[in-house]
Each structure stands twice: as structure tokens, then as C-alpha cells.
Amino acid sequence: MASFGARPGNLRNDGISPAATFNTLVQVTVPTGYALSNTINLVAGDFWENPDLPETSLSDLGFKLTNDAWPGLVAFVTAGLSSSKTEVLVSTLVVRSFGNSGSAPWSNMTTLEAGMVVPEGSTWTIECYDNDDNSSTDIDAFGQGIRFDMPGSSAGTAVSTISLAAPVNFGGERGSADNSLIAGLSPLDQPKYLGPGVRLVGGQLSAQIAGTWASEARIHLVNSALPGLSFDFQLLQQNSSFTLISVPADEFRPWLSSAGTGVALPSGSTWQVETYEAYDDAPGADAIGTGITFEVMAGSPSFPVQAVTIPGVFNLADPYPDPDNTAYSEVAQLNSCFASFATISASYERVAPDSWAADALITITNSAHPGKVAYLQPFPGIQNVTTFQAAGMRPLIGSLIGSTIPSSSLYRFEMSDEVANLEPGAVEALMSNVTVSLYSSAPMPQASLNGTLALGGGAEMFGFPRSISYELRRGASKLASGTVLATGAEAPFSIPLSSANAGPATLIWSGPSYLRRVQQVNITAGQQDLGVCTLPGGDIDGSGEVDAADIDRVITDFGFVGNYLSDADGSGEVDAGDIDAVISSFGLTND
């Protein structure tokens, strides 16, 4: 693990230029080599807007990372700060997704990847930037005391060494009879966790069919303890024909899909290997490999964070997304970094005669990451059966992998049938008894304040989410701050803390149209349950008191439909219910 701290820095939009005039550049030497993980931990930092540029948003701030051992490659990491704050103090560990982040097109051009080995003595260069440049002649924002931890696995640690001593055939696509399939390889002598890829050791590949490309040779691995997960990598990267080519030594190859990174591999489990071709040039072996040897890299463990039980029987109608499919929503309970696999149990019942269980899909989205998705296939390989029950670990794929999931954000699970056999809207199959257990690719904080916000108003589910801010203070010092995105009258929260801040503190809650409330807390190690904190609604004008002026605002906006402060009950419409909500809090004031 490498740590680095930035001196007070100026943050301004840089695009992908080497460095903008106003941006701060920091260089740090790596003392011990390691392999990158898929997260970076923001441990501390104080960030504030330039008061001369009030249109700046702290949510635009990020960091551009390069390492001189990988010239030309880059990763972008968002700071993930609040858009509603002029200053944010980070005092506890917050997980950030490593790779690409930000709204600008250039900040999605990830080339540094999890699993790449960062050697001892190499140099990191970190540039502070702003995604949206608000002035060509001034600094958008400032930061000081910024510190990251970069988790990683030991550069030389392997789960298993797999050697294919006998010649193996790279024949056709996966499942082809022309491929070699070898089971029972390299039993694990102790439990370990799967890393993000393999390190090549050596071997040779000889072409058997003229014109076949070296880059078409692939290897598919399955662990005996986890038949629901599989891992593929590309053996060689040369997009050209060849006669005889050596497998390079000490080169890293990432999994073609990251699904399963961090999964536990039990002692005594073994590997099955299939050698195959991405493109089948002709019947028989396209190429033959001899002495191919590689190490399956070790990684850090993932952690279970939430089991979502989806009640009822669900319609699988059309490919995602479609309103005829059944969807289910669940509040995220804990801050986590979305991992690349899940455990699922579910039952399947065919409705259309030609529907396959393998066509069923669960698509997972999260309100904090609009546009990002994760896909889960509950019944891979199960074809035209009437009913089927499944339980086990499954890979997740999609852009939601690696994203930080804030507590109180809203998960949405949509069940679909990806191959339509009937007219649009017709039910293809049914799914029931569904439980999806989600994992985090980073550990949960060791200390936190947990509880539930009770937001006065009346609506059980809000038409538009409400952003409730909190600050944890001790005297003049700010220990933590952030927001809870409330989707209904009850919003669970979890505030991560450092046990180094043990002792009494003041927790302050506030939100538009809600009265401020203050709680006295005593920070200790571990998880603390604060119970229910009630925030009365109805302070429409933000005066700190619910009075006649707030009723006047509701009357002025009466009949409006949308996200209005005068929608005191959160229903999505300003109506008589909002007058009732204001009256129920009439006379109350801020703490």
C-alpha cells in the first residue's frame, strides 16, 4: 500500500494536457512495489471554493494519476465531494473508484487498470484538476491536507501457479471440441482471495492454420469451489499472424471481465482450464501451446454489505429496460464500493414455450449513479426448462462495478427476459424467492454513527429525493460532513468515522424546508446506533421557524407539480396535504 499527501493545491480544469497553469502537481516515489487494486481511499483533506467564483461546484474536483513505469497511461479519480457545499472537510476514509470518473469525455479514458504492477522506485504524478473550468484567468477551488491510501496486493503474491506442460489446443470458441480442457490443476494449500488477473511465466504458441492471429488465443479458468464464476484472459496481444511465438515472462494480463475479483478461494480447491480461440479460423486446432505457465494473482478480500430479499413473483417480459418488466427498489444500507460479483438464490418458471432460463437477467442501478448499471444472470447455461431453482455466486458486469454506493441511496432491481419470444409486453417467464447478496470491494469503516432520519411531512415515498446535510463538530473543529439522500419519510444513515476522534461531539442535521436539529453524541469505536432523529418539515422560507409565511408560500405555489420547497409532504405536488404538513409543525423553530 502506498500513501501520498498533497500540499495546498489549486484545482482547475486541465483536460488531458500535461498540466494547466493553475493546477497543482505532486510527485511521490513508490517505496515498495505493489499491484493496483480497483479503489483509492480518500483519507483526509480540506477543500473550498474560490469565493470570487461562486458558480464553482466542489463535485467537479478530481485527480489525474500517472506513473512513470507506465508512460502514456493515466487514471482519473473523482474527489466525490458535495455539490451543495462551499467547503468540505474530509476526516474519515472514503472509498473512491480507481480508473475513470468525471463528467468530461476525456476523464473516462482509463488506461491504468487494477492489477498493473507499480514497481519500487517508480514515481507517481498527481495533478489536481476541476472538471468544469469556470475561469481561464483564476483558480476554481483550493485544497490542503489531502491524503490518499492506494490499496494493492503484493506484487509477487500468487494464488496458484498453473503449468500446462503437455501441448494444448487453441481450437475454436469456448465449448468447442477442438479445445483442450484440463481439470484438477494446482490445488490451493490455504484459503486465498482472487486478484485482478494473471502474470505470465513462459511457454510457446505455434500456429497450425495460416493466418490465425496470436491475439486470438485465450484461456478460461473455473475454480472447483465456485462453478458459477469464470475468468478469462488474453494470452498474447499481437494482432498479426505468426508461425512460432514465445509467451513473454513477467507480463500482467487482466481478466477480460473483472467479475469475481476479491472472491474467497477455499483451501483444496482446484482449477479447470480451457484453452480456446476468440475466432475460429478452421476446424481443428488453430494453434498449439507448449509449456504455457502463468500465476493466478492474489488480491484483497471483498466484504458482504447487504442482502436484498425481493418479495413476490416477478414478470419477465422484454429486454431491459422495459416498463412491462417487474422492478423492485431497496435503500442502500451502508457505504460501500460495489464489487464485481454477488450471491443469488432464485426460482424460475417458464411461461412462453421457447423461453430459456439463461435469458433471465437482473439489472441493478443506483440513484447516486444515474446511467450506470450492473448485470446479473441468475441461471447461466440453463436452457428450455419448465422450472428451475438456483443458488450460488455469480459474476456482475457493467459500469456500476467499483462505484461508491452511499448509504440511503436507492437500489433498483429490474427483472427481464433478454430474448423475446412473444409479442412486446407479454410475460415470458416468472421469477420468485429472489435474494441478492451484495459485496463491497473495500472494507467498511471500523466506526460509524448509524440510525434513521424521520422526515416530517406525510408522504411515505417522496416524489423527488430530499438532500439532508449533516455536520459532526467538536467545538470549532469539523470532524465529518456529508449528505443523506432521502427517498422517503424514513431514511437510514451511516456516518463513517475514525476512532481517533473518540469523545463527545455535536451532530447537526439540516435540509431545505426542514428545521435544523442538533444531537449530542459520544464517538466510540465500532458501530453506534443513534436511533431515530426527527426533522420537522414545513420551514418553506428557511427562516428557522414554521409560521404563517410558510403557509403563504404553499398557497402561492398551490397546484404546482414538481420538485418545489413548498411541497412540504414530499408527494411531488403542492396541494392541501402541504398546508396540513405546515400546520402540524406550526410554531416549531430550529434547535
Q: Which pLDDT does position 35 carry in this prediction? A: 75
Neighbours of 563 (CB within 10 A): 13
Q: Report the SS3 class of residue 472.
A: strand
pLDDT one-digit tens code per residue, 331-357? 887 666 788 889 999 999 999 998 999
- Is 303-440 the same fold as 2-154? yes
Give which of 32, 60, 64 is closest to 47, Cα–Cα. 60
Note whether 336 and 295 are within 8 A (CB). no
- Burial category of 185 from C-beta neighbours within 10 Å (exposed 0-12, middle 13-18, buried 19 and up): middle
The pTM of this model reads 0.60
Dihedral-angle region of residue 262 (phi above 0 means left; psi in -120 to 50 means alpha; beta otherwise): left
pLDDT one-digit tens code per residue, 251-297? 878 788 656 778 889 999 999 999 999 999 999 999 999 999 999 98
Strands 447-455 and 526-535: parallel
CATH topology classification for 447-584: Immunoglobulin-like (2.60.40)
Neighbours of 48 (CB within 10 A): 16
Give which of 166, 238, 178, 256 is closest to 203, Cα–Cα. 166
Dihedral over Cα of 571, 575, 581, 587: its sign: positive
Strands 25-29 and 123-130: antiparallel
Q: Which pLDDT does position 20 carry in this prediction? A: 44
- Written as tens digits, the pLDDT of the chain (591 aa) is 222 233 334 444 333 333 344 677 778 888 877 777 767 777 778 888 888 877 777 777 888 888 887 777 778 787 777 766 788 777 655 666 666 554 455 555 556 766 677 877 889 888 888 777 777 777 888 888 787 777 776 666 789 999 998 999 999 999 999 999 999 999 999 888 888 788 899 999 999 999 999 999 999 999 999 888 889 999 998 889 999 999 998 787 878 865 677 888 999 999 999 999 999 999 999 999 999 999 998 877 788 888 999 999 999 999 999 999 999 999 887 666 788 889 999 999 999 998 999 999 999 999 888 888 999 999 988 998 999 998 888 888 887 887 778 777 899 999 999 998 889 999 999 999 999 999 887 665 566 788 888 887 666 677 777 778 888 888 877 887 777 777 778 777 778 776 557 788 899 998 888 899 999 988 876 667 788 888 888 888 889 998 999 889 889 888 888 878 888 888 888 888 888 888 988 898 898
Count, in order, helices (H) and strands (E) of the chain. 2, 41
Name the residue ranges covered by the structural domains of the chain. Answer: 2-154, 158-298, 303-440, 447-584
Give which of 338, 348, 350 is closest to 377, Cα–Cα. 348
Please spell the DSSP secondary structure of 66-126, one letter per residue.
EETTSTT--EEEE----TT-SEEEE-S-EEEESS--SSSGGGG---S-TT-EE-TT-EEEE
User: Which helix (H) or strand (E) covers residue 556, if one does?
Assistant: helix 548-556
Give which of 60, 56, 66 is closest to 127, Cα–Cα. 66
| CATH number corresponding to 2-154 | 2.60.120
Q: Please compute, for residue 389, the number of CA atoms within 13 A of its CA located in the half-sphere on the CB side.
A: 1
Peptide bond into 71 cis (omega under 30): no
CATH topology classification for 303-440: Jelly Rolls (2.60.120)
Query: How would you label 445-474 residue by residue, b for 16+ Cβ within 10 Å and e otherwise?
Result: bebbbbbbbbbbbbbeebbebbebbbbbbe
